[in-house]
Structure 1
Amino acid sequence: MSARKVPHILKLSAKEQKEFVNSFDVVLCDCDGVMWMFSFPLPRTGEAVNALKDDGKRVYFVSNNSQRREEEYVNKFTRIGVKDVQADHIMYPAKSMLYYIKKHNIKQPVFSTCSADGNDVLRRGGVDVRTLDVKEGVRLSNLEEITEPKQKMGAVLFDVNLDINYVQMTAATRYLADSDCDFLFGAPDPTFRLGKGPFLPTIHDFYLILKRLTGREATIVGKPAVLLGEILKDVYKLDDPKRCLFVGDSLDVDIPFGLNCGFQTLLVLSGCTPIEEMWQASAEDQPHFYADSIADFIELYANISRKA
């Protein structure tokens, strides 16, 4: 289907702007590329979230990044001026894994190749997490012994971990040879780049290796999986998905996630998606609305106030 003209929220008529903000009660917001970039904040994003909250909107944050501790997330939101931010208002793969493990009574222990911070979230939630950190030199002569499964694992957990290595991948492959071992995957983002630099390997590339070697499809608990949407609906009591607005900067992760979950979608151009890419996308892959930044809500509310 050919592309359609996606409306910019500040180019809506006064009546349409008011109808737009009245069409949702809950805002689900991505973090990297929307609230901040990896290494620096984006202008007035905290002020925009506060404007939404002042209008009575419930605002939650949904990230695919488990590389930050929960306390670090809260501190980042506080530093950019978001008021009344609470740790339980932030969802990321380590927390959705924890939810899934408990809800489905996954047997323990589990083998994790996740980051240290992600493993800490799981352990604090009561999960018996096992890892494999090898200090000695690894050779073909001792690889089999080092990676041999010492006991049955209830699941292999896989997520973004910049320290992942060959030995851990090998051990995960061997645990997954057990058909009773579940396979959970956090953030399957297909692309990653630092600023405007070249595209870099992602954890999804490593997942494809495990999938090819084991023939196993992982249960994905991060964006864009609909399962994450079901988790959000349960945790945050989202009774009517159409009354939820999902705000993201990625046309290949955030927008499909929002669309597939039945949310309204708003693409912001402050992160990884250039506007040309949005116009070139087919109609079914485009967002409902777009904005230059989530900070556009500040001007949007000012417009509504002047017209009131």
Structure 2
Amino acid sequence: MSARKVPHILKLSAKEQKEFVNSFDVVLCDCDGVMWMASSPLPRTGEAVNALKDDGKQVFFVSNNSERPEEEYVNKFIRIGVKDFQANHIMHPAKSMLYYIKKHNIKQPVFSTCSADGNDVLRRGGVDVRTLDVKEGVRLSNLEEITEPEQKMGAVLFDINSNLNYVQMTAATRYLADKDCDFLLGAPDPRFRLGTGVMLPICNDFYLILKRLTGREATIVGKPSVLLGEILKDIYKLDNPKRCLFVGDSLAVDIPFGLNCGFQTLLVLSGCTPIEEMWQANAEDQPHFYADGIADFIELYANISKKA
């Protein structure tokens, strides 16, 4: 299907702008590329979130990054001025893995190749997490002994981990040979760039290796999985998905996630998606609305106030 003209929220008529903000009660918002870029906050993002809250909207955050400690997430939101932020206002793959393990009574222990901070979230939630971290002395001659399964695992957990190594990948492959062992994947993002534009290998690339070697399909609990949408609906009591607005910067991850979950979608151009990519996408893959950044809500509410 050919592309359609996606409206910019600041180019809507006064009546349409008011209808737009009255069409949702809950905002689900990505973090990287929307609230900040890497470690640098984007301008006035905290102020924009507060404008939404002042209008009575509930605002929650959905990230595919579990490499940040809980305390760092809280501090980042406090530093950019988001009022009344609490740790349970953000969901990321380690938290959705925890939810899934508890909901489906996954047997424990589990073997995790997740980041240390992701594992900390799981352990705080009562999960018996086992890892394997051998940094020296590994050779093909002792690899089998080092990666010998210590016992049956209820699941292998796989997510973003900048310290992932060959030994962990090998151990995960061996645990997954047990067909009774579940397989959970956090963030299947298709691409990641450095600030210089250089493409990097990502979690999904390594997952594809495990999938090829084991013949196992993982249960995905991060964006763009619809399963994550069901988790969010349960945790945040989202009874009417059409009254939820999902805000993201990725046409490849955030927008399909929002669309497939039945949310309204807003693409912001402050992150990884250039506007040309949005215009070139098929109509069914485009967002409902777009904006230069989430800070456009500040001007949007100012416009509505003038017309009131």
- Structure 1 position 257, deviation (Å): 0.1
Alpha-carbon displacement from aligned partner over 1:173-194 (angstroms, at most 9, x marks no partner): 0000000000000000010001
CA RMSD of aligned residues (A): 0.5
Ranges in structure 1 where 5+ consecutive residues have no aligned partner: none
1:97 aligns with 2:90: no
- Equivalent in the alignment of 1:173: 173
Structure 2 partner of 1:246: 246
AA at the equivalent of 2:239:
D
CA distance in 2 between counterparts of 1:15 and 1:57 reads: 19
- Rounded to whole Å, the distance in 2 between the matches of 1:17 and 1:135 is 56
CA–CA distance in 2 between the matches of 1:51 and 1:133? Answer: 45
Distance 2:240 2:39 in 1: 35
For 1:142, the equivalent position in structure 2 comes to 142
Query: Does the residue aligned with 1:171 lie in a helix, a strand or coil?
Result: helix
Residue equivalent to 2:268? 268
**Counterpart residue number, 1:290:** 290
User: Distance in 2 between the 1:141 and 1:41 partners?
Assistant: 48
Deviation at 1:195, TM superposition (A): 2.0
Per-residue deviation, 1:263:
0.1
Question: What SS is found at the alignment partner of 1:138?
Answer: coil
Once residues 19 and 116 of structure 1 are traced to their aligned partners in structure 2, the CA distance between those partners, rounded to angstroms, is: 44
- Shift in Å, 1:135: 3.7
The 2-side partners of 1:172 and 1:194 are apart by 28
Q: Secondary structure at the match of 2:36?
A: coil
Please give the secondary structure, in 1, of the residue aligned with 2:111.
Answer: strand
Partner of 1:38: 38
| 1:123-134 matched pairs, under 5 angstroms | 123-134=123-134
TM-score, L = length of structure 1: 0.99
| CA deviation map 1:82-123 (0-9, x unaligned) | 000000010000000000000000000000000000000000
Number of aligned residue pairs: 308
* SS of aligned partner of 1:28: strand
For 1:197 and 1:8, how far apart are their aligned partners in 2? 26
Runs of 4+ deviating beyond 4 Å: none
- SS of 2:37 mapped into structure 1: coil
SS in 1 for 2:41: coil
Q: Which residue of 1 aligns with 2:216?
A: 216
* Cα distance in 2, alignment partners of residues 202 and 135 from structure 1: 21
| Identity, % of aligned positions | 90
DSSP 3-state at the match of 2:189: coil
Q: Which amino acid aligns with 1:298?
A: I
| TM-fit CA distance, 1:198 | 1.4
Deviation, 1:199, is: 1.1
Aligned to 1:51: 51
CA change 1:196–1:5 in 2 (3 A) is farther
1:227-275 superposed Cα distances (whole Å, 9 cap, x missing partner): 0000000000000000000000000000000000000000000000000
Q: Secondary structure at the match of 1:60?
A: strand
1:196 deviates by: 4.1
> For residue 124 of structure 2, what is the amino acid of its counterpart?
R
Unmatched segments (≥5 aa) in structure 2: none
Cα distance in 2 for residues equivalent to 1:189 and 1:197: 16
CA drift at 1:197: 1.6
Amino acid aligned to 1:213: L
Aligned to 2:9: 9
Give the letter aligned to residue 140 of structure 2: L
State the alpha-carbon separation in 2 of the partners of residues 32 and 91 from structure 1.
13
| AA in 2 matched with 1:198 | V
What CA distance in whole angstroms lies between the structure 1 residues aligned with 2:30 and 2:263?
Answer: 14
What CA distance in whole angstroms lies between the structure 1 residues aligned with 2:190 and 2:175?
25
Q: For residues 263 and 45 of structure 1, what CA distance do their matches in structure 2 show?
A: 21
Counterpart Cα distance in 2 of 1:39 and 1:131 = 28
What is the match of residue 237 of structure 1?
A: 237
Q: Distance in 2 between matches of 1:196 and 1:293?
A: 21
**Partner amino acid for 1:75?**
N
* Structure 1 CA distance for aligned equivalents of residues 87 and 60 of structure 2: 10
Deviations 1:114-166 (A, max 9, x none): 00000000000000000001143101110000001110000000000000000
Q: CA deviation at 1:70?
A: 1.1
Q: Which amino acid aligns with 1:150?
A: E
Cα deviation code 1:13-49 (max 9, x no counterpart): 0000000000000000000000000021100000000
Question: Structure 2 length normalisation: TM-score?
Answer: 0.99
Q: For residues 17 and 206 of structure 2, what CA distance do their matches in structure 1 show? A: 44
**Take 2:60 and 2:137, find their aligned partners in 1: how far apart are those partners?**
45
